[in-house]
Every structure is written in structure tokens, then in C-alpha cells.
Amino acid sequence: MLNFFEDGFFLEDEANLFRVDSGLSTHIESLSISNDDHWIASSIIPEFSVNNIGNDDLVGSDLNETLNGGEGDDLLTGNGGNDALSGELGNDTLLGGFGDDYLVGQEGNDWLEGGVGIDFLVGGLGEDTLVVMDATAANSMPFADLIVDFDPLSDWIKLPDNLAESNLFLEPVFTETGEINTLIGNRLNNTILASVLNTIPTQLEGRLIATATASDSTLGQATDLGILGNITISEFVGDLDPEDIYRFQLDIDSDVNIVLNGLSADADVALLQDINNNQEIDVTDIINTSQKPANFSESVSINALLAGTYYVVVYQYEGDTAYNLSVSATPNPQFNNPETLESFDSRFGYGLVDASAAVSQSAGVPDFPEIPDLGGNDWGRDLIQAPEVWTQGITGENVVVAVIDSGVDYNHPDLFSNIWNNPREIANNGIDDDNNGYVDDSRGWDFVNQDNDPMDFNSHGTHVSGIIAATPDGVGITGVAPNATIMPVRVLDRNGFGKINDALMGIRYAVENGADVINLSLGGNDYISEVLETMSWAVEQGVVVVVAAGNESSSFPSYPARFANQFGIAVGSVDRKNQLSSFSNRAGILPLNYVVAPGGDGGFSDVGDIYSTIPLASSAVPYRFLSGTSMAAPHVAGVVALMLQANPNLTPTQVEDLLTQTADHSTIAV
């Protein structure tokens, strides 16, 4: 029974069915419902409050509504419009529908699914499941869903049905106030599914629900192909048989070629090695994949794959299809240097960078004597033995390190005296005095806004700079090379995003304006030939390029760190116990210039992470703990600055060789 009152509608405490039709006109701004189970479909009334203990179904219209579930296990569906859904008490299901919706689970174990649009998902208390959707994935963060209140101890993130966990990348983003958010991305098309606020990638480990089967199978069921020569297999994958796994052996280092063709639907192929011998497909087992759309042929080629046991996985992406799989191996034993391979590990490369050994050998002098650790927040410098170098009077003086990042707070008291000053430019006279194409670039350049102010509004670049060259003033921290010069080059915006062309221009700017070292604490999942060409050019000009390996827990570095098989140094992360950080991308099975350095553990305790500078505007205390290979790379860039002060005649290749040859792989825990 419906009773009308001057201030609203009221449903009596009995079973009711009520629908507000689109033709109803009223001045009433809210609808309140009391006890029992109800079903509401809204059309024009902007707010519904179900203040009862029943299990209610509320369905919105195409307008913008607020639906409040009250007590009970409720189903709230926003339908069209930009809606706000609040489950209140009980185990509720919130479906945003179309539009940009705000979903709040409140108390109880809730299911939140934003649907189409840019949605905010707030789990609240209880064990909540927050659904991300491939159909609404975005190319940049402002257009992807936002998970606001994720609890890594109780909440879950449900992945799209077509994606396995191995199809994802988890990428940290540093905000201007120093917090870390994590992007959940789709490797298959390089789109962003959602951003999880105040959460680091490692906190999502074990909290992702995947229904795709590519990562659910065991390697024990693989079909054995024996010692690989050349074999072709014709088989089928589809809904009833979504993947096939094959095992083969290489008795000698070989070039391996895998081709998947004859497809009528979308299927993909991956090459794996069971690194931890658990017979499960883990993300760190993946050597390489081919994931082209539709029924395009797939291929994976690896030169000089080391002797051992490997797996090929053919898996359905969409639809049913027969396939032809060709796998061949051509012996290539002369490709690798046995002495080099003996010290290279697929997880941590050549090991922990050793500043003392690298610098002493650069200078051609005996090993420096050890000194007591500094302790405290300088544990990273202790771990790589940087203080041993400082006692020899080597501090990176007259070496320019370009930080190509989110900018640098050049006013920070721990960085101010070490900021690069363009000697050929007169500041603020409106003239390009040095004719380099950049007007008044007296302290670097901002390629995001195309101006001469490379100030940091994100914190990332300032944090990186402090690790390299914070001054030894007894306040905050001391950088690895405390008298090196920092050249600020801004290519990332305040949200941590940047354009490839800006990064390329930033590298060229650094080289052309006198940088000796470039630090790139950035990266992505795509091979981009222009990046490789620009890095190659920088190295040819005599500049050492140091690149963060990435934070996706992958079995190989992201780009451009993966180019370290040709140019530059890739850097993974260890924690203060010299254990490989769980988030760090590994070196991979193919040797490349890869070392590890302190990057923190990404855990809940700050003392396990890296303490460094952040912009003055970010906090009353302009220092913060952060973690990631972004923090590991500047440790190595600082070591390179020390090496170049000790011996300015070193070439980039000599620097790379010295770093890998002196790295310590004997004490790293995995």
C-alpha cells in the first residue's frame, strides 16, 4: 500500500512492489522505504533511501540518482546516468550500469561493478570484490576506473573473463603528494583497466581473481616433445579445451623459433621456463609471448636460448580454432661467453652493484678499505659500499647526471647546490643565448609544458635526484654521489604519465647539453624502435644510460631497460636484507647488462624502503620513503658518477663492463 505524505513517499512494513514510472512528476526529492523486501525502479526522483532490514532491489533510470540500500543484502543498479550507489549494511551488489558512477559498499561483503563509464569503487568494511572491465579500459588514467579504498588484507579485484593474471602489468604511479597508486593494465593492448589508490603493486599479489585459464594450468600436463629439433603440430583450442602445453629440451644453446598459424579465431602463444620448479605457470616464468589480435599468425624468436627445459603454451583468447604450431631449434653454442654466463643469473643478473670495487677498478687502484656502516635511512648507500668511496675524496664532483623524469624541485635544500646551471645561457632574458633551441633553459627544460621550468609536481623525479646527489649536510639523506650535478629534464606530468616523443626529446636535450649520465626511472611494455635508436645515439655520444627494470614482477625487464642487451644498464631492486624485491622485474634468461641495487621491499614498514627528497610543497617534512626499481636505478647512476670522477676517460661500454664484472652475486637472497 502506498501512502502519500507532504514530505515524501512511504512504503508500509509489508512486502511491496513499487516502480516510479517516467511519467510521474513530483516535487519530492527523496524516497524512503522501510522494512521488508522491495524493488524500486527510478525515473525522475533523484534520491532513494531504503532504511529497512530487507533485501531490496533498486534500479535507477537514465537520469542521475542516489540509491542507498540500508540494511539487508541489497541489489542496487544505477542503469543510465551518473549515479551514486551506497550499499549501507549487509552483503550488497552494486552495479553502476551506464554513466560515470560512484559505488560505495559500506559494511558487509559487497560486490562492486562499475559498468560502462568512468567509475569510482569504494569497498568500505568487509571482504569486498571490485570488478574491473576490459570493455571500459582506457589509454590514459583520467579515463579509467578508480578503486579508492582497497584493503589488501580483505578485498579482491575481479579481472575480466578474457584475462589471466599473466596478461596484466601492475605499474606504480607517484602522486604529487608522495602517495603511490597502482595502475592495473592489460598487456595485450596496453590499456589501463583501473588505478588502485594508495596501493603498491606487491599489495595486489594474491588479491586478483582471474577466470581466464592461461595461468591456471600446471606444467605437469605438458606434452613432451623431447630434445627439440624441428617439429610441427596440428591441434585445436576453444571453450572446451582452452590451452595446450608442450615441453621440450635443449641440449645445447640454440636459436629457437616458434610460429603459430592456421588460425580461424584469436589464439596466442607463450614461451616459458619453470624457474622455481613448482610445475605452475607463474608470471615470472614467461620468457616471451606473441599476442596479436584476431586470427593473425603469432611468432616468438629467441637467439642463443640456454640449454635447459622449456614450455610452449598455445591458449585461446577468443573463439574456437584449429592451429598449426611449428617449433624449431638451431644450435648456436658460440654466441655466449661461458665466463660471462657463469656469473649471470636470470633473476638478479650480475648481482648487487659494488661502488667500492667499481670505482677502485675504474681508477686502477687497490680495493678501498671497508668502513663502518652509516646505518639508519642510509642503508642503501651502506649496502652498495658508497661510503668507502667517499673516504677517498671521490663524490661525483663535476659529473652531470640528467634525471629524465617528472622534474626536480631545484629549491630543495638538499639539492639546491647541486642543480645544473647552463653555463651558456643567461637566465630570464628571453633570449636563446646558446642557440640550442630552448629559451632561458638555465636549469633544464620542461617538455610537458614546453617551458624552461622543470619543477616537479609529482615527487618522483625529486626522490630520484636525492638518491643520486643529495648533499652531505647532516639533514635528510646523503646521495650516492653527493657532489654530482643534477640536470632536471621533465617529461612526465603531475600524474606520472608522459609521451614517448617528450622522453626522446629529453634524452637528446640531456646529451646535447653536457650530461655524462642519464637516469631513466621510467618505462613501459612496448618495443619502440625510436627509443632504441635514441639510446644508441646517446651511448655513441659517450653518455652512460641507466634504466629501471620495472616493477611488474616479470621474468624480464620492461622497455627500455630490456635494450640493455645492446646499450645501457638495466637495474633491478633488492631490499635492505639484500633479497630480490618481490615487485622487481627479473633479468631474464638471456644475458644483458643487468645489476640490482637498493629499491626497498614495498611493504608496510617504511624503514624497508628508500628515504629521499620530495618537493617542498608536498609535505612539511620534504622527505619520504618510496620503493621500486625507480629508486634502485639512481643508486647505480650515482655509482657511475663516482666512476667517472675517478676516471673521466671511461667509455659507456667500459662503465657497463666494470659494473657487471664487479657486481656481487654471492650474497643475494631470492
Catalytic (active-site) positions? 405, 460, 630
Angle between helices 355-363 and 652-662 (to 10 degrees): 130
Q: Give me the helices (H) in 104-241, please.
A: none
Please state, in angstroms and rounded to a whole number, the distance separating the CA atoms of residues 422 and 443: 6
Residue 654: Cβ within 10 Å count = 14
Is the C-alpha dihedral spanning 207, 212, 213, 214 positive or negative?
A: negative
Region of 124 on the Ramachandran plot (φ > 0 left; ψ -120 to 50 alpha; else beta)? left
Q: Listing from the earlier edge strand, what are the strands of the sheet with 223-227?
A: 223-227, 243-250, 308-318, 266-272, 286-290
Residue 191: Cβ within 10 Å count = 16
* Helix and strand numbers, DSSP H then E, in the chain: 9, 39
Q: Please provide the DSSP assignment of 3-69 as one string.
A: EEETTEEEE-SS---EE--TT---S---EEE-SS--EEE-SS--EEEE-SSS--EEE--SS--EEE-
* DSSP H or E run through 358: helix 355-363
Locus of grid cell 622497455? 559
HEC sequence for 539-595: HHCCCEEEEECCCCCCCCCCECHHHHHCCCEEEEEECCCCEECCCCCCCCCCCCCEE
Question: How far is CA 618 from its chain centroid?
Answer: 22
The grid cell for 520 is 631513466
The residues facing 332 across adjacent strands are none
* DSSP H or E run through 407: none
Contacts 24+ apart (CB under 8 A), 282-285: 282/215, 283/165, 283/166, 283/215, 283/552, 283/553, 283/554, 283/555, 284/553, 284/554, 284/555, 284/586, 285/311, 285/555
Direct distance between the N- and C-terminal alpha carbons of the chain, in angstroms, rounded to an integer: 68
Q: Output the CA–CA distances (angstroms, integers) from residue 499 to 140, 454, 523, 546, in the order listed.
A: 11, 16, 11, 19
Q: Are the beta carbons of 533 and 558 closer than 8 angstroms? A: no
What number of residues does the chain have?
Answer: 670
The grid cell for 232 is 610441427
Please state, in angstroms and rounded to a whole number, the distance separating the CA atoms of residues 440 and 434: 9
Please state, in angstroms and rounded to a whole number, the distance separating the CA atoms of residues 492 and 407: 7
Locus of grid cell 649536510? 473
Q: Output the CA–CA distances (angstroms, integers) from residue 45 to 13, 59, 117, in the order listed.
A: 21, 12, 22
Please state, in angstroms and rounded to a whole number, the distance separating the CA atoms of residues 454 and 64: 41
Please state, in angstroms and rounded to a whole number, the distance separating the CA atoms of residues 93 and 87: 7
396 exposed, middle or buried (CB, 10 Å; 0-12, 13-18, 19+)? buried
The SS3 assignment for 405 reads strand
